Amino acid sequence: MSLATQTLASLQRRIAAGEIHPRDVVADLATTIEAGNPQLGAYLSWDADRALAEAEKADTTLPLAGLPIGIKDNINVTGQPCTCGSKMLAENYTAPYDAGAIVRLRSGGAVPFGRLNMDEFAMGSTTENSALGLTRNPRDPQRVPGGSSGGSAAAVAGNLALAALGSDTGGSIRQPAALCGCVGLKPTYGRVSRFGLVAFASSLDQIGPLTKTVEDAALLLNHLCGKDGRDSTSLDAAVPDFTTAIGRDIKGLRIGLPREYFIDGLHAGVSASVKAAVDRLAALGAELVEVSLPHTDVGVATYYIVAPAEASANLARFDGIRYGHRSDDATDLMEHYFKSRAEGFGPEVKRRILLGTYVLSSGYYDAYYLKAQRARTLIRRDFEQAFEKVDVLVSPTSPAPAHKLGELKDNPLAAYLEDVFTIPANLAGLPAISVPCNPVEVDGVSLPIGLQIIGKPLDELTVLRAADAFERG
Amino acid sequence: MPSPEIPIRHVATLARLELTDEEAARYQEQLGQILHYIDVLDRHDLEGVEPTAHAMPVLDVIRADEARPGFSQAESLTNAPRRAMDQFQIPKVLE
């Protein structure tokens, strides 16, 4: 059996014991990807020779001991492509530096290996917005893997990666993790440097791990967090050893159930699975408390003003001059901008740039952007009040299991509404994890469901502790 | 507040995006639907609420004013789609 089915923790032990060398792991993984990726489409590219060379000289005394980690294709790794799933960066961009998170990962001993598919510029929740290829759900090839970190989740759940990095702006780590059946953690905003993560919405974006187990998420998080002088929003907060959260009990832990998250519109299978998960948490000794987050109903609307507004500003950098696609058909500078951007960006990115430009345009700023910023305050306060009574909150990660390919393609609003449970943690900057709960049977196929656990700012330890206890049952 | 008709051509000009007629019609309709949905914000009284730009604000971040290594000119140019005389090449802007 391929080593790619193993956890980071188990391979770490085998490497430490001298049973295997990281080069064996990378070589095994390269063969596995070669065989499995044509069907799954999780990776856009991978450079096995480079990873083998890095694994060969890896310091096996470091915690991550030369283990290969898949990287979402919007995180810069020196000398590798960084396409963001876009034609804009597919032709001629090679990353000139390592992202802050990659610097940390390397100093923990890991080897970045492979570039994982994603919705273009991380805009989407199915990975169908990638301009560069289709990624399938490893549990049912007729279904989407979720998104935008769909390649990362499909690779980890489909055993084409031990673990991967993703980015989460409105649920883009947690939702694909839920739909593919792996663990996905979005840290507190500012925990992980955004330097070298291609910016989508700067006040919401956060890099985090997708893994096979909660323990692996803790292990990887240890080597992602910390202040980075190159990201002025990164937090100067102490980084605990997150693996101390593993193997503990949750007796007396106060778990909040937000009544606005357990609604009628929920898919029956999701509802049943999450109810069973809540019962399991109670059986493990947690104290269940019903809480209210009264502004949940405006989360999606708030997000779809704030995120496109920030995106329209961030994506203004793609001018076809310094890097990225350049049109051959322009005769003057204005035409050069218009054509380079029209040719380089896909439909969802254009839609969000237009929406963001509109809500920031003269005369509409107060009606949309300022209003959304005010609603964001109320959403944040909802959480502050709930966390006076409880230690963590639990909810479904996504209101439905994985959709069929193409099902949401022509209905952007319906796709946006799927983010309802994941968006609030981004707006409030909170850490949140998705951990697999009971799968549901749909059309004769067993589809994964995710349980979301949301924590207080900087309290990833309690989030991981609850998720690990739940996972172990 | 009812959502106004979006002046899609004007917005596309601000965003520096060329749109076909078909795209303009489609985005006009889709953005109209999205903005109509966004009107749910009016369900809550937002008057006087302090706006949040960042959930975890970190203010006045400065670094020591010291020179540090950066990209060389050659490195800065490596990803440029067109270069001329060791510079970025752009279409002519002056007659």
Instruction: Quick: pLDDT tens for A123-143.
Output: 999 999 999 999 999 999 999
CA distance A128 to chain B (A): 18
Q: What is the arithmetic mean of pLDDT over A147-170?
A: 98
Q: How confident is the model at residue A263 (pLDDT cuts 50, 70, 90)?
A: confident
How many structural domains compose chain A? 2
Please, what sign has the CA dihedral across residues A41, A43, A46, A51?
negative
In terms of domains, do A338 and A411 share one? no
Q: Mean pLDDT for chain A?
A: 97
Alpha-carbon distance of A234 to A305, in angstroms, equals 24
The 10s digit of each residue's pLDDT in A162-179 is 999 999 999 999 999 999
Range of the domain at A358: 301-366
Contacts of A345 in chain B (CB under 8 A): 17
Nearest CA in chain A to B5: A358
In terms of domains, do A402 and A339 share one? no
- Is B34–A320 a contact, with Cβ atoms under 8 angstroms apart? no
Please identify, among A309, A338, A366, the residue that sits at the C-terminal boundary of a domain.
Answer: A366
The 10s digit of each residue's pLDDT in A292-344 is 999 999 999 999 999 999 999 999 999 999 999 999 999 999 999 999 999 99
Boundaries of every domain in chain B: 1-45
pLDDT value for B2 = 46
Segment-wise mean pLDDT, segments of 10 residues, chain B, 95 residues = 75 98 96 94 94 87 90 95 94 82
Q: CA nearest A136: which of A15, A261, A42?
A: A42
Bridge partners (DSSP) listed for residue A165: A71, A209
Please identify, among A344, A366, A388, the residue that sits at the C-terminal boundary of a domain.
Answer: A366
- Is B17–A342 a contact, with Cβ atoms under 8 angstroms apart? yes
- Which residues of A are designated catalytic? 72, 148, 172
CA distance B91 to chain A (A): 5
Specify the range with the lowest mean pLDDT, choosing from A137-151, A262-276, A393-407: A262-276
Please identify, among A366, A392, A423, the residue that sits at the C-terminal boundary of a domain.
Answer: A366
Indicate whether A387 pLDDT > 80: yes
In terms of domains, do A2 and A125 share one? yes
Chain A, 380 to 409: residues with Cβ < 8 Å from chain B are 380
Q: How confident is the model at residue A264 (pLDDT cuts 50, 70, 90)?
A: confident
pLDDT value for B4 = 59
pTM above 0.95, yes or no: yes
- Is B14–A322 a contact, with Cβ atoms under 8 angstroms apart? no
In terms of domains, do A430 and A343 share one? no
- Is B11–A361 a contact, with Cβ atoms under 8 angstroms apart? yes
Indicate whether A97 pLDDT > 60: yes
Indicate whether A83 pLDDT > 90: yes
Is A195 an interface residue toward B (CB < 8 Å)? no
CB-based contact A288:A389 (threshold 8 Å): no
Indicate whether A231 pLDDT > 90: yes
Nearest CA in chain B to A333: B91
Indicate whether A84 pLDDT > 70: yes
Alpha-carbon distance of A115 to A99, in angstroms, equals 14
Alpha-carbon distance of A149 to A138, in angstroms, equals 14
In terms of domains, do A105 and A239 share one? yes
Alpha-carbon distance of A403 to A263, in angstroms, equals 19
Nearest CA in chain A to B40: A298
In terms of domains, do A288 and A434 share one? yes
The 10s digit of each residue's pLDDT in A273-289 is 999 999 999 999 999 99
CA distance B33 to chain A (A): 8
Is A233 an interface residue toward B (CB < 8 Å)? yes
In terms of domains, do A291 and A306 share one? no
Is A457 an interface residue toward B (CB < 8 Å)? yes
Q: CA nearest A428: which of A125, A170, A177?
A: A170
Radius of gyration, alpha carbons of chain A: 21
Instruction: Give me the CATH number covering residue A428.
Output: 3.90.1300.10
Percent of the residues in chain A that have a pLDDT greater than 90, as a whole number: 96
Indicate whether A50 pLDDT > 90: yes
* Correct CATH for B1-45 of 1.10.3470, 1.10.20, 3.40.50, 1.10.10: 1.10.20
CA distance A359 to chain B (A): 9
- The tokens for A313 are 């500003």
Contacts of B25 in chain A (CB under 8 A): none
Percent of the residues in chain A that have a pLDDT greater than 70, as a whole number: 100
pLDDT value for B1 = 44
In terms of domains, do A315 and A443 share one? no
Indicate whether A112 pLDDT > 70: yes
